[in-house]
Structure 1
Amino acid sequence: MVWIGIYIAIASLFCILPMLADLLHGFKTKKLWFPCKYFTLNAASLTVIAIAMKLPVDLNNSMPNNVDQAAKLGSLAFMCTMMANLLPSLATMDSKELLTNIIALGVLVITLVVNVCIQIRTGVVSNNHDGPYYTHVSYKNWLIALIYVAMLFMLLVIHTCLALMIITSKQIVESKYKARRETALVDLELQQPGRDTVEKLKQHVSNHWIMAGTGSPQFMAVCSATTSASGVICFSSTALHVVIMLYTRPYMKLYGSDYKWSVLMILITQFTGVILGTIAPLLRCFASLSFEVSIKWIWNHIRVFKVEGYYTQKLSDWKYDSVPLKLSSRRCKIVFQYLKVLILILSIGIQKTVLVACKMIALIPIFFVIGVMCCFHCWKSLKVLMSIASYNVSVETPSQLQRNKNLSQYVLQLQDDMELAERTLKSILKSVTNLIQSAEKQQPNNLIKLLGESSGFEGVGKYDLHQVSEQMYVDCWSLPVATLTAIAISLPNIQKSMTDRLLKCVSEGLTYVKHIEESLNATDEYISSQKAARMLWLEIEVCHKWLGINLQTPAHETNATKEIVQWFCNTAENMVSELESKKMKGSDDSSVYISVSANSMYRITQTILASNHAHIDQVSQEELFEQLSSMISHILAACLTNLPRVKAMKCHTSVIEKREESVHVAAQLLGETMQIINSLQDRELPSLNPDELPFIDKWRDCFLHPSP
């Protein structure tokens, strides 16, 4: 049993660590409503939680002594803490995930509650023994256990109520988001017409950052009365557990269960989790301070009997849905529909009752805030009257006021009568500004230097000539870049520092190429080429190999430029022929990878040989390296002209749960690539339609067959 106790303690630790990570992440990002990023409700977390709750569900083992009883009760407090921490994570799920996870959580909590009630009835929770601890505490263990059971049941009901609210609130916010987004696009085009500049992209990202931040499902969930109530319940359970620990502290060595000393390990681990895990739910109680604190704000919170429609809208909608069962009898349908409506009416009543109870509980932190504000204003007035200090009031310029007013129209909120506080809006803007500035310090300097060595895009039309051979796969941006790099670094006469620099440049460039391909070239015909290119680049960068062949192999056989290129051409041709003869093309990932990579190498080397046919013997390795580097630079430059479009796409995603993360990626990309975007602004784009710019084959065709 000792090993089982250690197992429980380790499982508890695995619950504590993600809660702590969420806490630190909230402080780091200055989101003091602490969104759930690491500790979320899913199958994995529920499994670990179930293991950590082994003590309360253990019906067989007697828990006769002080530490044993405290550990069993402490597990219940730990469960309350975890449930309070998990609450905002419900907002990250779609309807199916919500249903599945709420049912799973319900099964776990109900099992826990029933088992504890059985233990209260059988006396396992409260054994009457002699000793100072039991003289004062033991006879109350059953009462403490009942209090925890009530808290757990209340938290489960809160989870269910919030899940129903989230479904409707997402729909409301999504409709507002669509309207605001159209406004943002129109306003931006009117203010800064023409090609996307860095300033225009910054404004675009800022607008969407505000919409994503204020319209975040987790933010909506945290600002609700249900989350405030869960925070109060969590704090109450923690306070009760602290009292139990104070009584237990003098008797820490008194344990008598089969778990032996491991029960002390469980107690200390879970007590640590209770203390650390209470911080986030407690601070979430004050998330409503993100809105403007006014008489209207106070009045909205005091009106506890007012139930907003989005809390019960989903249940009301279900009343008018058709019967999902295929019943042949009309009478059965009528009876079933009547029962369904009756159950839903009862559920709506329960939902309203729970919400009113949550609002009443949430008044505790609200009254605390009101008291603190009154004390602050009194102290401030007193200081002014006594002239103790002079105050420098910061006055915003008209342009700043106008900018804040313009940006406030992009704020998304459930209740139109609740106005987001100006300090909150400034904090949101500051966070995106800081993110962009931080990303600016991570700009790809090697890539910028490579792009600066060229001034056009002509290399896109030089790497592959249509007439050299039949093209088996469509080209993507990363495939020719990886192939050209493989040839370049295989040249033996080139200094290692130059090949290493080229590898760094291409590595940095392919990071952004990947974003472009995933956003703009995500069709099935391109995916196989992109996957092959990534596998090929990994092999080139890490192993300095091409399809399993060491890139120094050609140098061992010959030192002539023509012979090296010809060796790659012949090797690639043999690989393609072998695959075709064995009819392995497309049969599995490995054969597709070899076929795509070999075909690309064959076409590119054929093009190099054909382009330099007249003087190939006179071309030095240094000259070929320059040609290859120039083509790589031009291809990367052409590809990266699509960066503004990718950033705009990442700012908008149809999945509301992923919108905030997507805008974060867009802001990060903008900061890292501002210098690249500015440098490419001066280059003249080919005569292509905007929809053709993301495709390398369109660029190549344009250069090979320019329009008159």
Structure 2
Amino acid sequence: MDPNILNDYHEFLLLEASCNDSAIVYLTQLWKLVYNSDQQTRYSKPMPWMGMYTALASLFSVFAMVADLLHGMRNSKLRFPCRYFTLNAASLTVIAIAIKLPMDLSNLMPDYVDQAAKLGSLGFMCTMMANLLPSLATMNSKELFSNMIALGVLVITLVVDICIQINTGILTYHATDGAEEAYVRDQRFIAITYVALLLMLLMIYACSSLSIVKSKEILESKYQAVHETDLKDREMQQQLRLGVVWELRQRVHNYWTMAGTGSPQFMTACSVTTSASGVICVLSTILHSYIMPFHIETSSSWDYNSDYKWSMLVILMTQFVGVIVGAIAPLSRYYTYKSFKISSIWNHIKVSTVESYWTQKLSDWKHSSMSFESSSCKCKIVIQNLKILILNLCIGFQMIVVMVCKMMVVLWFFLPICVQSCFFYWKRLKTGSSSINSAQNDEPVEQNKDRRRYVLQLQDDKEFAERTLRSISKSVDHLIQKAERKEPENLVKLLAKSRPGFEGVEKFDSPHVPPLLSEEYLHCWSLPLVTLTIVAVSLPNIQKNLLDCLLSGVREGLVYVSLVEETLNAFDDHVGIQKAAKTLWLEVEANRKWLGNKLPKLAPQVNTAGRILQWLSNTAERNYLRCDNSEYMSISANSMYRITKTIMLSYDEKIDTFSQVELFTELSSLIADILGACLNNLPQVIIMKCHTSAIEKREASVHAAAQLLGETTQIISSLQVLGPPRLNPEELAFIDKWRAYFMHHFP
């Protein structure tokens, strides 16, 4: 309503009631009520779009949970590790937006759909917390502390807001007068139940976060012990080598087992607290499934009486889908117990026992000393005793939470396992034991025993089932086989041009050519590869298919060359050269240019191979002189100058009669030799990726090693036939060490 109309109406009322003072007061108050109502209506107009903002945040959370489900199914990980939906600042912000409705203390929710949406947000919050729990294992101590504080503040604020609404009655308010007492009572009971579930989840989070740090330390110590033993065994078996590829497969298998069983997320997924959170998630899902049909069937109209209007239905349906989909991962973590033998599961969830790693962190804090600024001895004693008392209470509370979680696991998860086991043995008696025994003897016993050496676990009395070890082995075999189908075909064709001994490593740069750079000139693998490719691209009379094949091979090869350099050559004196090579390659690949010069049309008078090399050499020298202290320009120009001068020096008088096809063939061989020499370091890269110091990144690193092995199996085998020089593994990573070896042994 227009404010001017309200003012005119106000003046009219005052004129009509001028004879009566009490009427003036009454009409003035009435006008204020009308005006405030009008203002409230105007301010509430954007609220439906705020509701859509909440629905959009909820949809992002649902998409992240679905992405984790698809990732787990694709990689046969029914524990569904948190990869996309993790606890961090961004996800907490999105969650805070998604649960805006139950934190709204002022807006009434008079319709049944409105109230269902508000209560449904609490169920959605329970589901999100149950899904996020394994992501705690991916954090270090600092991240764990900060994220737990942020989550605790959010959950406690939500609980307090719900308690306020229960107390004031706004949560059970209905537009229809005389709402049934049973309905109000049910609403209060559902809200109180959700509050209890949220508080229980928060306690589970606190309990899990305190145990994760110590659990990681236990797994890390066991990993290092197995790693040291494996290194000693490898050194003793060097004389019995069965081939590089076979050894790499064995190493990837072993470290895949260690990374999989020692994964922090796998450890957390197998814990009783995570299983208890799954039980809570199932309870909240059942409760939400009860709310939805009851409120929608009870609603007689779709008027949407709250300020959020039609957006309430969008929020309700989006979060209901999120609750149903989000319950899959916490519920399916029941299957993590099937990774162990039944007797081991029973040892794992003994209700009367609380393992030391649950309370070890609190015990360490209890026995640690505190620094006091006060000089009063009595004050120090009081504070120290108070600290011990508080931590003793925390330890006791921690033990109670763990035992309650174990009881929940026994009641909810162990019963289905017993039923399933009874069904299995009944089926076994019915069909006979021969087929089962034959299935269990698929693999040699010795191989299973050897594989068990690399299994990492928190409790020594918890033993993995045979099918779990077979599943781990099959998963890495499947990954390697899948990667083998992605073999770089163009790179393999290019490497077929490599010569025995990779003599091109010595030939591409002559020591008799003085460098343009004043300081000592260093080589890296990628820079001569890119420079030689530029020379090949500058030859205008080469067939397009041959040139495209060379470029594709170099493009595929540089992926692995960069991997070798980043893993083995990440030193300050090499990094600058490697960056210059990457920049130079981008310029060539995207624009077919070199230092601003268009390739292959360099100059009209350039038509023979010798003149092309001379033009490149002269242009490189000119660019170096006017490079204005640009490191990229000076390194690129120096590399081109030395390589072109070396080629001209090698062929001397023949360079004038040297055809472009002959030069292209020679360049292809040089490129293949350098690529082949560099890729001899792939086994070392795979080994280094298998063993990673950070426990949180270990599983992903071994996954990358297995994928790299699959892609390069044929390449590694073929390069071993060509016979790399007898250098130490540390020296093989540097092209200058190769050149020094050739110059010393073949002067």
TM-score (norm 2): 0.89
Q: Which amino acid aligns with 1:597?
A: S
User: Whole-Å Cα distance in 2 between the matches of residues 254 and 292 of structure 1?
Assistant: 56
Tell me the percent identity.
56
Of the three residues 314, 317, 340, the one matched with 2:364 is 317
Residues 278-308 of structure 1 deviation map (CA, whole Å, 9 limit, x = unaligned): 00000113312211113x533542x212100
Does the alignment pair 1:460 with 2:505? yes
Task: Give the equivalent residue in structure 2 for 1:224.
Answer: 271
Does the alignment pair 1:564 with 2:612? yes
Stretch moving more, 336-345 or 506-515:
336-345
Of the three residues 581, 584, 596, the one matched with 1:533 is 581
Q: Which amino acid aligns with 1:277?
A: G
User: Whole-Å Cα distance in 1 between the matches of residues 601 and 632 of structure 2?
Assistant: 21
Q: Which amino acid aligns with 2:390?
A: I
User: Whole-Å Cα distance in 2 between the matches of residues 87 and 334 of structure 1?
Assistant: 38
User: Whole-Å Cα distance in 1 between the matches of residues 319 and 372 of structure 2?
Assistant: 46
Task: Give the equivalent residue in structure 2 for 1:275.
Answer: 324
User: Whole-Å Cα distance in 2 between the matches of residues 508 and 531 of structure 1?
Assistant: 18
User: Whole-Å Cα distance in 1 between the matches of residues 616 and 445 of structure 2?
Assistant: 64
Shift of 1:3: 1.1
Structure 1 residues 692 and 288, CA gap change in structure 2 (3 angstroms) = same
Task: Give the equivalent residue in structure 1 for 2:8.
Answer: none
Task: Give the equivalent residue in structure 1 for 2:730.
Answer: 691
Stretch moving more, 606-615 or 217-226:
606-615
Shift of 1:570: 2.3
User: Whole-Å Cα distance in 2 between the matches of residues 630 and 139 of structure 1?
Assistant: 84
- Count of paired positions: 693
SS at match of 1:467: coil
Task: Give the equivalent residue in structure 2 for 1:481.
Answer: 529
Stretch moving more, 698-707 or 276-285:
698-707
SS at match of 1:541: helix
Task: Give the equivalent residue in structure 1 for 2:555.
Answer: 507
User: Whole-Å Cα distance in 1 between the matches of residues 359 and 584 of structure 2?
Assistant: 54
SS at match of 2:689: helix
Task: Give the equivalent residue in structure 2 for 1:99.
Answer: 145
User: Whole-Å Cα distance in 1 between the matches of residues 172 and 133 of structure 2?
Assistant: 31
User: Whole-Å Cα distance in 1 between the matches of residues 406 and 616 of structure 2?
Assistant: 73
- Given that 1:188 and 1:204 are in contact with CA atoms closer than 8 Å, whether structure 2 keeps it comes out as no
Task: Give the equivalent residue in structure 1 for 2:20.
Answer: none
Shift of 1:136: 5.6
Task: Give the equivalent residue in structure 2 for 1:405.
Answer: 449
Structure 1 residues 505 and 194, CA gap change in structure 2 (3 angstroms) = farther
Structure 1 residues 383 and 203, CA gap change in structure 2 (3 angstroms) = closer
Of the three residues 163, 167, 175, the one matched with 2:209 is 163
Of the three residues 479, 492, 515, the one matched with 1:435 is 479
Does the alignment pair 1:652 with 2:691? yes
Shift of 1:672: 0.9
Does the alignment pair 1:608 with 2:647? yes
- Given that 2:606 and 2:615 are in contact with CA atoms closer than 8 Å, whether structure 1 keeps it comes out as no
- Given that 1:184 and 1:207 are in contact with CA atoms closer than 8 Å, whether structure 2 keeps it comes out as no
Shift of 1:445: 1.5
User: Whole-Å Cα distance in 1 between the matches of residues 222 and 357 of structure 2?
Assistant: 15
User: Whole-Å Cα distance in 2 between the matches of residues 515 and 612 of structure 1?
Assistant: 34
Of the three residues 126, 142, 156, the one matched with 1:80 is 126
Stretch moving more, 332-341 or 308-317:
332-341
User: Whole-Å Cα distance in 1 between the matches of residues 664 and 729 of structure 2?
Assistant: 32
User: Whole-Å Cα distance in 1 between the matches of residues 439 and 288 of structure 2?
Assistant: 49
Task: Give the equivalent residue in structure 2 for 1:679.
Answer: 718
Task: Give the equivalent residue in structure 2 for 1:16.
Answer: 62
SS at match of 2:327: helix
SS at match of 1:286: helix
Structure 1 residues 194 and 571, CA gap change in structure 2 (3 angstroms) = farther
Q: Which amino acid aligns with 1:464?
A: D
Residues 399-420 of structure 1 deviation map (CA, whole Å, 9 limit, x = unaligned): 7111111111110000000100
Of the three residues 271, 285, 291, the one matched with 1:244 is 291
Does the alignment pair 1:394 with 2:438? yes
Structure 1, unaligned stretches of length 5 or more?
A: 585-590
Structure 1 residues 556 and 381, CA gap change in structure 2 (3 angstroms) = same
- Root-mean-square deviation (CA, aligned residues, Å) is 2.1
Structure 1 residues 172 and 652, CA gap change in structure 2 (3 angstroms) = same
Structure 1 residues 597 and 342, CA gap change in structure 2 (3 angstroms) = farther
Q: Which amino acid aligns with 1:367?
A: L
Of the three residues 103, 109, 114, the one matched with 2:160 is 114
User: Whole-Å Cα distance in 2 between the matches of residues 392 and 214 of structure 1?
Assistant: 26
User: Whole-Å Cα distance in 1 between the matches of residues 119 and 605 of structure 2?
Assistant: 76
- Given that 2:68 and 2:84 are in contact with CA atoms closer than 8 Å, whether structure 1 keeps it comes out as yes
Task: Give the equivalent residue in structure 1 for 2:190.
Answer: 144
Task: Give the equivalent residue in structure 2 for 1:358.
Answer: 405
Q: Which amino acid aligns with 2:486?
A: Q
SS at match of 2:296: helix
Task: Give the equivalent residue in structure 2 for 1:666.
Answer: 705
Does the alignment pair 1:374 with 2:418? no
Task: Give the equivalent residue in structure 2 for 1:58.
Answer: 104
User: Whole-Å Cα distance in 2 between the matches of residues 368 and 509 of structure 1?
Assistant: 53
Q: Which amino acid aligns with 1:631?
A: L
Q: Which amino acid aligns with 2:567?
A: S
Shift of 1:606: 2.3
- Given that 1:286 and 1:365 are in contact with CA atoms closer than 8 Å, whether structure 2 keeps it comes out as no
Task: Give the equivalent residue in structure 2 for 1:588.
Answer: none
Task: Give the equivalent residue in structure 2 for 1:524.
Answer: 572
Task: Give the equivalent residue in structure 1 for 2:27.
Answer: none
Structure 1 residues 167 and 556, CA gap change in structure 2 (3 angstroms) = farther
User: Whole-Å Cα distance in 2 between the matches of residues 515 and 33 of structure 1?
Assistant: 31
Task: Give the equivalent residue in structure 2 for 1:420.
Answer: 464
